[in-house]
Amino acid sequence: MRILHTMLRVGDLEKSIAFYTEVLGMKVLRQKDYPEGKFTLAFVGYQDEKQGAVLELTHNWDTRQYDLGNGYGHIAVEVDDAYQACAEVKKRGGKVTREAGPMKHGATVIAFVEDPDGYKIEFIQKKTV
């Protein structure tokens, strides 16, 4: 068994695709409209779905915003340099909600950014040996 994808409901598909591709550097792997169900699915990721887990962005055509609730945490992305990743996010118009730096109770360097719908993405800097 393996994890295939994580599904996020998004209010503005174009804005979300732009964030995940232009700000975070993912690729649109596939996208399909379902007119009878009034929704669109777009799959984005860093590699092909056969190689790793991806994100499924679900856009219900009649819903512009969702309540994220208090059970959702975040998506984690490994980066070479969290400080540089934050600088790139800002340069590309993204929102950094926690600047890069060591964890409160540890040494791992992390940062958080936010997508257009308010979902949090954690950058975890690769450890050097």
How would residue 21 be classed by pLDDT, with cut points 50, 70 and 90?
Answer: very high
Percentage of the chain lying above the pLDDT 90 cut: 85
Mean pLDDT of the region 101-121: 94
Domain ranges within the chain, ordered by starting residue:
5-60, 75-125
* Catalytically annotated residue among 49, 88, 114, 122: 122
Whether the full predicted model's pTM is greater than 0.95, yes or no, is: no
Which listed CATH number (3.50.50.60, 3.30.360.10, 3.90.1300.10, 3.10.180.10) goes with 75-125? Answer: 3.10.180.10
How would residue 13 be classed by pLDDT, with cut points 50, 70 and 90?
Answer: very high
To the query of whether residue 122 is one of the catalytic residues in this protein, the response is yes
Homologous superfamily of 5-60 in CATH? 2,3-Dihydroxybiphenyl 1,2-Dioxygenase, domain 1 (3.10.180.10)
Tell me, letter by letter, the H, E, C secondary structure of the chain. CCCCEEEEECCCHHHHHHHHHHHCCCEEEEEEEECCCCEEEEEEECCCCCCCCEEEEEEECCCCCCCCCCCCCCEEEEECCHHHHHHHHHHCCCEEEEEEEECCCCCCEEEEEECCCCCEEEEEECCCC
Residue 108 has pLDDT above 90, yes or no: yes
**pLDDT value at position 129?**
66
